[in-house]
Amino acid sequence: MPFLVLQDRTVYEGEAFGAWPAERGEQVGEVVFNTSMSGYQEIITDLSYSGQILVLTHPQIGNYGWHDEESEADKILLKGLVVRELSSGEGSLHADVSLEEFCQEQGIWGLKGVDTRALTRHIRQQGTIPGVLVVNEEDGLRYWDNVEEGKADWHPQKHWVYQTTTAESYEIPGKGPYVAVLDCGAKRNILRSLQEYGFRIRVFPATTSADEILRSRPKALVISNGPGDPSELPEVVATVRELLPKLSILGICLGHQLLALAAGGETYKLPFGHRGGNHPVQDSRTKKATMTAQNHGYAVREDSLAQSGFEVFLRNVHDGTVEGMEHTSYPVFSVQYHPESAPGPEENHTIFEDFFLKIGLIG
């Protein structure tokens, strides 16, 4: 029987599915949970989960199989998937494969039959924690002993953003104005959302210089979602800082955090992150609240924005964290949540319209 062994030596037993190796091995990553009741395809292929072991809290996963067109990225950098009950997905007539077959094809280690309620409560109480998937419990315990002794290190050598971003820039045709996208691990639905307005889009790698983006003369820039700690991306922050006074900018999720850092603000790690499709956010100007889709482990420290030029206008109803900010001098604003949904509530798609109306790209 395979196991998930957390760094604090808490052990969860389950049954293997997906791409476990024939011989011993381990798969290590930060263990996080998502509370969405549907949309597992979009969640699994969201590159913001790169390097993580994902726990889905809904008790049955896989019941409508796998539909290739609903993937949010071509590559999968998820380290593992943990579920309570794995369905075969036989109820969907249009599925390309089952979830289990997809995991086998994509090299995802899966663990089913786990008490995901107990695991989620443990993470909520103790905070996000790394874990290792292993065939034998002793291997997992030994792995964390080696980490403590300096014989092993579960952290990536290269930031996950640099592993998720496109290798080269590419263009998506359109008859409308030209909008640039800085790809930090962008979901496809961000690009689809821009296509709905007819924009011509050029997607740039996260390593692109500010000069190169400016030379292409975009009418606006979108900074995408992505994985990992934003404070460990000083080169990208420097690029955003240079672009901040020169372009109209919309930041989404990681893009929101990068804008805050570029303006002199700070970010910090949340105890267990916000991941799911049911997070209420309130606009302090209108007092209107909406339900949002979220996937992030870091947040902007509001008291660090005093001299940044940004004003906070959206806050999380649960914990008051910063969910949206607007610059007082430049046509720049950002949201912490995912307005493009996929999956999640679609009521926040107006963020795109609000931004492009404000900067005059749509009328």
pLDDT tens by residue, 212-252: 999 999 999 999 999 999 999 999 999 999 999 999 999 99
Q: What is the pLDDT of residue 90?
A: 67
Which positions make up the binding site for L-glutamine? 48, 226, 228, 254, 257, 295, 297-298
CATH number of the domain residue 56 falls in: 3.50.30.20
Residue tagged active-site, from 122, 256, 327, 338 = 338
Q: What is the pLDDT of residue 93?
A: 78
Domain limits for position 285: 160-358
Does residue 131 fall inside a structural domain? yes
Q: What is the pLDDT of residue 91?
A: 63
Residue tagged active-site, from 72, 159, 184, 253 = 253
Residue tagged active-site, from 26, 42, 323, 340 = 340
DSSP per-residue codes, 27-63: EEEEEEEE--SS-HHHHHT-GGGTTEEEEE-SSEE-T
103 is catalytic: no
| E-only strand ranges, 66-164 | 80-82, 85-86, 109-112, 129-134
- Token pair recorded at residue 277: 């499709």
Does residue 71 fall inside a structural domain? yes
349 is catalytic: no
Does residue 154 fall inside a structural domain? no
Q: How many domains does the chain have?
A: 2
| Distance of alpha carbon 50 from alpha carbon 287, whole angstroms | 35
Contact 117, 57 (CB under 8 A): yes
184 is catalytic: no
Q: Are residues 25 and 138 in the same domain?
A: yes
Long-range contacts, 196-201 (Cβ 8 Å, 24+): 196/352, 197/352, 197/356, 197/361, 197/362, 198/174, 199/174, 199/361, 200/171, 200/172, 200/173, 200/174, 200/175, 200/176, 201/171, 201/172, 201/174
Q: Name the domain boundary from 148, 177, 204.
A: 148
Q: Are residues 100 and 214 in the same domain?
A: no
Q: Name the domain boundary from 123, 148, 173.
A: 148
| Distance of alpha carbon 339 from alpha carbon 349, whole angstroms | 5
Q: Are residues 81 and 194 in the same domain?
A: no
DSSP per-residue codes, 294-326: EEEEEEE-GGGGTTTSEEEEEEETTT--EEEEE
Q: Are residues 239 and 323 in the same domain?
A: yes
Q: Are residues 186 and 278 in the same domain?
A: yes
pLDDT digits (tens, 9 = 90+) for 91-106: 677 899 999 999 999 9
Which positions make up the binding site? 48, 226, 228, 254, 257, 295, 297-298
Does residue 153 fall inside a structural domain? no
Does residue 202 fall inside a structural domain? yes
Q: What is the pLDDT of residue 348?
A: 93
CATH number of the domain residue 271 falls in: 3.40.50.880
Q: What is the pLDDT of residue 22?
A: 76
Does residue 189 fall inside a structural domain? yes
Whole-structure pTM value: 0.97
Q: Are residues 98 and 206 in the same domain?
A: no
Q: Tell me which residues of the chain have a pLDDT lower than 70.
A: 90-91
Does residue 195 fall inside a structural domain? yes
Q: Are residues 139 and 226 in the same domain?
A: no
